[in-house]
């Protein structure tokens, strides 16, 4: 064996780390790791990635190879494709093994918004709470309208029943993805490049919506209703939805589907309800040629919330350079989109098609002497 061959044999394998986290100087959290790791052939080493402060949710750190001195980097060194930094943890350690001489360069990408532009993240959070307030307050004009008139005539009962079911399903989805650690980690493992689409304002909004829907139903039981009831078609659709949820629960318990899939099925129920729940109300307005009893304040605030919800998702996608996030939560995106479409229809009905006729004041005739 020549001296050159001997030297090549003992040349160590090297693993270099490049940081590709945008706007790291503006980040709320920073990561640190060795700039380079040198290993002898057929040796192992433990590498630790450390964060400057504990993270508020599980973070998947992707290790993407950008350069290798050989055609297949796995022939040089074994590196995991991703590592998981748990909630409240400040470091994560993983193992690498060298097989041959050479060099491999990898860069780290995180799916957590804490490692993105802080300014855009703050704007996104502010917009999230604004649309949360707009959507939450949007329930109250209808409550006031019902109380003022002591009547729910003009408020469609199919809409009430479907709306309650939809927000119960949405609450189950949000609670699971926001508060259950096992499901959160399952989501991150399945979507290593994405971020959890459910925020705190989504959870509180959905729970608040369930409460207000129950108040609507109590008002419907107390006030004048004009003989209105939930239609057989709406009851049939509700039975289908809850039967689907029950069957999905049995499949999840039997481990035929994952619990994350089970939650997504609830989100699809909410999305299906959003697609159809406004139709009975819009048809009732058309049939009556009037929007009386259907609060326009509810519609205007709902429209504002829908627009801001979509805007927040766009900002989050831009901030994480992951545009799949817009469609990663079909319920949230669909809720905003279809709400906006139907709100435009209701605004057109109220202000253009079915305006109230002018109110005339009766003036008694004055006889001249």
- The Cα-based distances of 26 to 113, 118, 122, 128, 210 in angstroms read 12, 6, 12, 21, 38
Cβ count near 97 (within 10 Å): 13
Tens-place pLDDT, residues 219-254: 999 999 988 899 999 999 999 999 999 999 999 999
Q: Angle 39-79-23 (CA atoms, 0-180°, nearest 5)?
A: 105
pLDDT computed for residue 114 by the predictor? 47
CA separation for the pair 131, 202 (Å, rounded): 10
Placement of tokens 């409460």 in the chain? 211
Which pLDDT score is estimated for 367? 46
* pLDDT of 120: 66
Instruction: State the residue for tokens 């709902």.
Output: 302
Q: What is the pLDDT of residue 85?
A: 80
Question: Which has the closest alpha carbon to 263: 188, 336, 169?
Answer: 169
Backbone torsion region of residue 172, taken as left when φ is above 0, otherwise alpha when ψ lies between -120 and 50, otherwise beta: alpha
Cα end-to-end span (Å), the chain: 136
Q: Which of 178, 19, 181 is nearest to 86 (CA)?
A: 181
For 98-117, write each residue's pLDDT tens digit: 877 777 777 665 555 444 45
Domains of the chain in start order, with CATH, are 12-114 (2.60.40), 118-353 (no CATH)
pLDDT score of 332 more than 70: no
Residue 224 has what DSSP assignment? B
Tens digits of per-residue pLDDT, 259-282? Answer: 999 999 998 898 899 889 999 999
- The string of pLDDT tens digits covering residues 68-94 is 767 677 777 788 877 888 877 788 888
Against a cut of 0.75, is the pTM above it?
no
Residue 369 has pLDDT above 70, yes or no: no
Q: Which pLDDT score is estimated for 91?
A: 84
For residues 131 and 362, the model is more confident at 131
Mean pLDDT of all residues in 210-216:
96
Confidence at 26, pLDDT banded by 50, 70, 90:
very low
Share of the chain above pLDDT 90, in %: 38
Report the alpha-carbon distance of residue 258 to residue 279 in Å, rounded. 33
In which element (H, E) is residue 64 found?
Answer: strand 59-68
91 contacts 52 by C-beta, under 8 angstroms: no
Residue 66's φ and ψ, nearest 5 degrees, are -105, -20
User: Tokens for 167?
Assistant: 């927000």
CB 298: neighbour CB atoms within 10 A? Answer: 21
Q: How many residues does the chain have?
A: 369
Higher pLDDT residue, 183 or 336?
A: 183
Residues with Cβ < 8 Å from 287, sequence gap 6 or more?
none
What is the pLDDT averaged over residues 137-148?
94
Tell me the average pLDDT of the chain. 79
pLDDT at 118 over 60: no
Choose among 22, 39, 42, 40: nearest CA to 30: 22
Strand pairing partners for 92? 49
Alpha helices by DSSP H, 65-156:
118-137, 140-149
Q: Which of 41-50, 53-62, 221-230, 293-302 has the lowest mean pLDDT?
A: 53-62
């Amino acid at each position: 064996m020549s001296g050159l061959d001997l030297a090549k044999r003992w040349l160590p394998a090297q693993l270099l780390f490049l940081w590709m986290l945008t706007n790291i100087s503006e980040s709320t959290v920073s990561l640190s790791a060795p700039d380079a790791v040198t290993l002898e052939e057929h040796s192992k080493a433990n590498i630790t990635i450390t964060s400057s402060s504990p993270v508020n949710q599980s973070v998947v750190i992707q290790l993407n190879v950008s350069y290798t001195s050989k055609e297949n980097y796995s022939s040089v060194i074994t590196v995991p494709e991703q590592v998981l930094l748990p909630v409240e943890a400040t470091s994560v350690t993983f193992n690498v093994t060298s097989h041959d001489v050479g060099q491999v360069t990898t860069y780290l990408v995180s799916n957590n918004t804490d490692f993105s532009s802080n300014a855009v993240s703050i704007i996104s959070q502010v917009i999230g709470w604004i649309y949360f307030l707009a959507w939450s307050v949007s329930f109250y004009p209808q409550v006031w309208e019902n109380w003022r008139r002591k009547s729910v005539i003009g408020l469609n009962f199919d809409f009430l029943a479907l709306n309650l079911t939809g927000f119960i399903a949405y609450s189950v989805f949000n609670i699971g993805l926001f508060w259950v650690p096992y499901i959160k980690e399952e989501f991150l493992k399945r979507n290593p490049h994405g971020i959890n689409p459910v925020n705190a304002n989504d959870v509180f909004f959905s729970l608040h919506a369930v409460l207000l829907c129950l108040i609507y139903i109590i008002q419907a039981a107390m006030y004048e209703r004009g003989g209105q009831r939930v239609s057989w078609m709406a009851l049939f659709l509700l039975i289908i939805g809850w039967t689907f949820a029950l069957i999905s629960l049995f499949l999840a318990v039997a481990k035929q589907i994952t619990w994350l899939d089970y939650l997504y099925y609830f989100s699809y129920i909410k999305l299906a309800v959003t697609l159809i729940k406004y139709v009975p109300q819009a048809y009732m307005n058309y049939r009556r040629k009037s929007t009386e009893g259907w609060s326009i304040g509810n519609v205007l605030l709902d429209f504002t919330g829908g627009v801001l919800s979509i805007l927040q998702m766009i900002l989050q996608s831009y901030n994480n350079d992951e545009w799949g996030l817009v469609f990663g939560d079909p319920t949230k995106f669909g809720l905003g989109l279809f709400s906006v479409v139907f709100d435009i229809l209701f605004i057109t009905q109220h202000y253009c098609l079915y305006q109230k006729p002018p109110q005339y004041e009766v003036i008694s005739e004055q006889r001249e002497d």
